[in-house]
Structure 1
Amino acid sequence: MLDALTLDQIRTFVTIAESGSFRSAAKRLSRVQSGISVAVANLEATLGVTLFDRSGHRPALTAQGQVLLGNARDIILRVDVLRAQARGFAEGVETELGISVDTLYPTPDVAEAISRMRQSFPAVAIRVWSEPMGGPLDALRKSRSALAIMVGEDFRDPRIKFEPLASIRQVVVAAPTHSLAKQHPDVPIELVDVADHLQIVLSDPSDLSAGRDFGVVSSQTCRVNTQDTKHNLIRSGLGWGRLPYWLIEPDLQQGRLVRLNLSAVGRNGEVTSSAYLAHRRDEALGPAAQRLAALLIGLGNETHRSV
């Protein structure tokens, strides 16, 4: 009997569970409600279990339905991946390629990979977004970009494939004129010492971190929307903050910034995070995107070995 299962029935089941009602599912799928009811009834008959309790105002998943929902979602995802891969085989080179890059990731590495990719695909237009925190994942979810580079493990989605790229160092810094910079570097700075000093932090352009803060330890904050703004404000002496080492290495060497030994946010005020190349499982990468992905992974491996 299980051979009688159809993808339409499974997709209908998932849509009802996600939308909360047969009516909402019918609207989302552009179907009549009676057709939705028949599809689920046939699926229940084929499986031999009741998926929804229909006794209330809205259908509620049964215990068996809750378990099978995860399997149903997995089946749909795998079918979508299959279709995307088949589409990719049939399609030619992209006319445009978008990539969203976490602001913590080295821009020179991205530029080098794009430059090498264009040697093979010079006619492909490139769009690069520099976005912090949940921005790159949001770009993939909304199909604004085909590729994304994400730093850290705070944002994940089972529809997104992640491949490790490199390790990213971040250090706590301030301008040499800042009062926190007067403390001897061998003496750790306590959280109580920075609580009343303005911390410059990046805002998340997406809603993925709503209600959460990452690395914010001061009661006083100045929130900015770009890494360049954060960098410039810290260098001007307005406040302190954490910045990627690759970006501020010249500032440290030339004395425009000094490291702060804030051990509460990392040993000697430093933290290392992993960077990942990400793309949607259900959307095929075109030839140019595949080439760029391979180049980014190769350069990331070189960077990782040199750290």
Structure 2
Amino acid sequence: MLDALTLDQIRTFVAIADSGSFRAAAQKLSRVQSGVSVAIANLEAQLGVQLFDRSGHRPRLTPQGQILLGAARDIIVRVDMFRANARDFAAGVEIELSVAVDTLYPMESVGRAIAQMRQDFPAVAVRVQVEPLGGPLEALRRKRCLLAIMVGEDFRDPRIRFEALAPIAQIAVVASAHPLAAAEKHRTIGAEILSDHLQIVLSDPSTLSEGRDFGVLSSQTCRVNTQDAKHHLILGGVGWGRLPLWLVERDLIEGRLVRLNAAALGRRGEAASQAYLAHRLDEALGPASRRLAENLMGTTPTDNRQALTL
């Protein structure tokens, strides 16, 4: 009966195929040769298939044995992974790791850090939520995530630890066909000119910025809830706005967007904000989340790192 198959039999089958003989397999498995022979004979009887041709000096895989060898290897790998995952969970490795990321932070960098973490902890599920402004901090406060990446100094909480990652540059941009693009070619654009045109602004999903606006110069606004929506509306010529430099570099190079030399928003319309890795002081990080944090911090030069509790 197939239900009577054992992992020992499957490992013995693979060991013989890998070592080339029953004797070598017995040495590899620290068993007597007769025990190896009996294990394979029982396996072949249970399968109803001859796995090795024993007519020559050395056993050779039969055509059926060659096909089943791949399946046998897969079974061993999966069982070994099963055991490794169980050991990890017993050691306190997280079942799921949740991360909230500020929409201004490049997701590619987050992806590389997660991929590196999963090389050591492949069984850990990952959940990533991308939110602007106070969204990541609120996710930490409500324990909807264990780690958060926040940009800027506008939102703080004494229960949260902040570690500096890298500065994120934002620039004021507009579509190349927008009237402001023509005005930009001739002079520095003042706040009074910008206020005459629609500004695309991100809405805060949290209540942390209630009654406050960040970088809003125009009385005419179009509020959106995602960075992608803001980016595409600006590309479509609806209005102007600030976007992270990493997001719009190609648009600038290829002429779809134009930088606005708006002194009210920084030199040449550019301002840099510090990105931080944040987590709650009352929530211990597990092995996988610690590794992810290390990977994220590893993308930042050592002399730029600093731990802050604000």
Q: Structure 1 residues 280, 91: CA separation in 2 closer, same or farther (over 3 Å shift)?
A: farther
TM-score normalised according to structure 2 size: 0.68
Q: Which residue of 1 aligns with 2:179?
A: 179
1:175–1:256: 8 Å Cα contact kept in structure 2?
A: yes
Q: Please report how far the alpha carbon of residue 185 of structure 1 lies from its aligned counterpart in structure 2 after TM superposition.
A: 3.9
| 2:202 corresponds to 1:202 | yes
After superposition, where does 1:1-307 map in structure 2 within 5 Å?
A: 92-185=92-185, 187-301=187-301
Match for 2:223: what amino acid? R
Q: How many residues align?
A: 216
- Offset of 1:187 from its aligned partner? 1.6
* In 2, Cα distance between equivalents of 1:287 and 1:197: 50
Unaligned runs of 5+ in 1: 1-89
Contact conserved, 2:184 with 2:260, CA < 8 A, in 1?
A: no
Structure 2 stretches lacking a partner, 5+ long: 1-89, 306-310
8 A contact 1:132–1:204 mirrored in 2: yes
Give yes or no for contact 2:173–2:242 (8 Å, CA) kept in 1.
yes
| Alignment-mate amino acid for residue 298 of structure 1 | G
2:28 corresponding residue in structure 1: none
Measure the CA separation in 2 of the matches of 1:265 and 1:223: 18
Residues of 2 paired with 1:301 and 1:225: CA distance? 32
CA deviation string 1:245-265 (max 9, x = no partner): 001111011111110001111
Aligned counterparts of 2:225 and 2:295: Cα–Cα separation in 1: 29
Q: Deviations over 1:156-212 (max 9, x none)?
A: 000000000001000000000100000244621001101120000000000000110
Q: Distance in 2 between matches of 1:256 and 1:196?
A: 22
User: Which one-letter code corresponds to 1:300 in the other structure?
Assistant: T
Instruction: Provide the rounded CA distance (Å) in 1 between the counterparts of 2:301 and 2:164.
Output: 9
Aligned mates of 2:153, 2:91 — CA distance in 1: 33
Task: State which structure, 1 or 2, has the greater radius of gyration over its C-alpha atoms.
Answer: 2
Q: How far off is 1:300 after superposition?
A: 3.0
Contact 1:186 1:261 in 2 (8 A): no
Matched to 2:221, the amino acid is T
How big is each residue's C-alpha offset from its partner over 1:45-100, in whole Å with a ceiling of 9 and x where there is no partner? Answer: xxxxxxxxxxxxxxxxxxxxxxxxxxxxxxxxxxxxxxxxxxxxx96100000000
Contact 1:199 1:218 in 2 (8 A): yes
Identify which range, 282-291 or 184-193, moves more after superposition.
184-193
Secondary structure (helix, strand or coil) at the match of 1:299 reads coil
SS of equivalent residue, structure 2 residue 180: helix
Q: For 1:131 and 1:140, locate their aligned partners in 2 and report how far apart those are by CA, in whole Å.
A: 12
Tell me the secondary structure at the aligned position of residue 165 of structure 2: strand
8 Å CA contact 1:262–1:268 kept in 2: the answer is yes
Structure 1 stretches of 4+ with a deviation exceeding 3 A read none
- Paired residues of 1:150 and 1:277 also in contact (CA < 8 A): yes
Equivalent pair of 1:103/1:132 in contact (CA under 8 Å): yes
**Code of the aligned partner of 1:159:** R
Match of 1:54 in 2: none
CA offsets, 1:219-253, max 9 Å, x none? 10000000000000000000000000001111011
- 1:77 alignment partner in structure 2: none
Contact preservation (8 Å) 2:166, 2:300: yes
In structure 2, how many angstroms separate the alpha carbons of the residues matched to 1:186 and 1:269? 15
The 3-state SS of whatever aligns with 1:300 is coil
Q: Deviations over 1:122-145 (max 9, x none)?
A: 110100011000000000000000
What's the RMSD between the two structures over aligned residues?
A: 1.7
State the one-letter code of the partner of 1:119.
Q
Identity of aligned residues (%): 65
SS in 2 for 1:183: helix
**AA in 2 matched with 1:98:** S
